[in-house]
Amino acid sequence: MRKFGLIGYPLTHSFSQRYFTEKFEREGISDVSYSVYPLQRIAELTGLLGDPELQGLNVTIPYKEQVLAFLDDKNEVVREINACNCIKIEDGKKVGYNTDVVGFRDSLLGKLQPHHTHALILGTGGAAKAVEYVLIKLGLSYRFVSRHPRPATTDLSYEQADAALLRSHTLIINTTPLGMYPKIDECPALPYEAIGPLHYLFDLVYNPEKTLFLKKGEGQGAVIENGYEMLIGQAEESWRIWNP
Ligand SMILES: NC(=O)c1ccc[n+]([C@@H]2O[C@H](COP(=O)([O-])OP(=O)(O)OC[C@H]3O[C@@H](n4cnc5c(N)ncnc54)[C@H](OP(=O)(O)O)[C@@H]3O)[C@@H](O)[C@H]2O)c1
């Protein structure tokens, strides 16, 4: 049996387990399993890695950074952004990858237009690093908007994200959890009236399908995209890494 799975904590509901189990059934992939491993402490990973049948893991909150200490090697993206959400285990060697980057890039490109040259990234957490990596690779200019702008950076506060700033930044990417189920009436504090048809609003949140952030953008005529395609993209990229 080839074993795969997801580590994180807590793991009350897992998109990945459902996705891979359905994929295995749909595509007739047998002698393989995908399990969830809620680890209260990252130290518990050592025991899990002792399973000789384990060939790959996805990694979610809060371990995308802590897991780096367990890796024998990292690909270029992981080295650059210090966040790993996919591990391939081959002959006991553990190699780290970041498939959020591929998932986000492919989904973003679906609706990106040449005039989307200046972006705002809302939030500065783990997913924001994957988003930043993609924007740099695409040659787009960007600023972070944060509740706590980091000293000696170009981070902006939400107070600084005024109408003029929004008009000059037509790509806005929400990497905060605001608006995620069950708190669906929350959204980042922005002057949404400054958004128009030239804007592209991308929300990494995928539940609900249309967050308040996206609804407000759509109401102003903006192009919108939620995080669902990215989620599928990162899962499929993990599978490709585990099965080259
Ligand atoms: N679609 C996908 O495939 C996919 C993949 C990865 C993540 N995600 C989603 O992306 C979101 C972020 O994930 P993450 O791993 O980056 O989480 P994270 O590391 O906790 O970072 C989230 C960031 O959002 C900001 N934030 C948090 N709470 C906030 C609040 N109440 N108000 C305003 N800003 C707040 C914070 O930035 P500041 O402190 O700088 O304000 C924080 O660093 C989650 O909803 C996650 O489900 C989706």
Q: Which CATH number characterizes residue 163's domain?
A: 3.40.50.720
Q: Is residue 195 part of a domain?
A: yes
20 with 91, same domain: the answer is yes
Q: Is residue 240 part of a domain?
A: no
Give the pLDDT confidence of 72-127 residue by residue, as tens digits: 999 999 999 999 999 999 999 999 999 999 999 999 999 999 999 999 999 999 89
25 with 91, same domain: the answer is yes
To test the pocket of ligand 1, the residue of 134, 176, 232 to mutate (highest count of ligand atoms within 8 Å of its CB) is: 176
Distance CA 68, CA 73 (A): 9
Each residue of 62-99: b (16+ CB within 10 Å) or e? ebbeebbebbeebbebbebbebbbbbbbeeeebbbbbb
**229 pLDDT band (50/70/90 cuts)?**
very high
Which residue's alpha carbon is at the smallest distance from atom 13 of ligand 1? Answer: 127
Q: Is residue 117 part of a domain?
A: yes
For the cut 90, the answer to whether the pLDDT of residue 59 exceeds it is: yes
- Phi and psi angles of residue 35, each rounded to the nearest 5 degrees, phi first: -115, 165
Distance 176 CA to ligand 1 centre (A): 3
Distance 205 CA to ligand 1 centre (A): 9
Catalytic residue among 3, 23, 64, 216: 64
Give the pairing type, strands 93-97 and 73-74. Answer: parallel
Residues in the chain: 244
The residue with tokens 């384990």 is 54
Percent of the chain scoring above 70 in pLDDT: 100
CA atoms within a 13 Å half-sphere pointing along the CA-CB vector of 243: 10
81 with 66, same domain: the answer is yes
Distance CA 46, CA 134 (A): 32
Question: Is 78 near ligand 1, meaning CB less than 6 Å away?
Answer: no
111 with 224, same domain: the answer is yes
68 with 131, same domain: the answer is no
Distance CA 182, CA 11 (A): 16
Give the pLDDT confidence of 63-73 residue by residue, as tens digits: 999 999 999 99
Taken in order 128, 130, 135, 141, the sign of the CA dihedral is: positive
Residue 191: is the preceding peptide bond cis (ω within 30°)?
no
Domain count along the chain:
2
Question: Is 217 near ligand 1, meaning CB less than 6 Å away?
Answer: no
Distance CA 236, CA 102 (A): 10
For the cut 80, the answer to whether the pLDDT of residue 151 exceeds it is: yes
Question: Is 204 near ligand 1, meaning CB less than 6 Å away?
Answer: yes
226 with 106, same domain: the answer is yes
For the cut 90, the answer to whether the pLDDT of residue 244 exceeds it is: no
For the cut 90, the answer to whether the pLDDT of residue 137 exceeds it is: yes
Boundary of a domain, candidates 97, 115, 138: 97
Question: CA torsion angle for 209, 214, 215, 221 (degrees, to 10)?
Answer: -130
Give the pLDDT confidence of 155-170 residue by residue, as tens digits: 999 999 999 999 999 9
Mean pLDDT of 184-208: 97
Question: Is 81 near ligand 1, meaning CB less than 6 Å away?
Answer: no
The SS3 assignment for 20 reads: helix
Q: Is residue 239 part of a domain?
A: no
85 with 111, same domain: the answer is no
Is 64 marked active-site?
yes
pLDDT for 14 equals: 81
Distance 177 CA to ligand 1 centre (A): 5
Distance CA 107, CA 115 (A): 17
Q: Is residue 6 part of a domain?
A: yes
Cα 58 → chain centroid: 12
| CATH for 91 | 3.40.50.10860
123 with 217, same domain: the answer is yes
Range of the domain at 110: 102-230
Question: Is 13 near ligand 1, meaning CB less than 6 Å away?
Answer: no
Percent of the chain scoring above 90 in pLDDT: 97
54 with 131, same domain: the answer is no
Question: Is 132 near ligand 1, meaning CB less than 6 Å away?
Answer: no
Name residue 86's amino acid: C
139 with 111, same domain: the answer is yes
Give the pLDDT confidence of 2-26 residue by residue, as tens digits: 999 999 999 977 899 999 999 999 9
Distance CA 231, CA 244 (A): 20
Mean pLDDT of 203-226: 97
Q: Is residue 235 part of a domain?
A: no
Rg (Cα) of the chain, in Å, rounded? 19
Q: Is residue 244 part of a domain?
A: no
Question: What mean pLDDT, rounded, does the chain reach?
Answer: 97
pTM of structure: 0.95
Q: What is the DSSP secondary structure assignment for residue 68, as one 8-state letter?
A: G
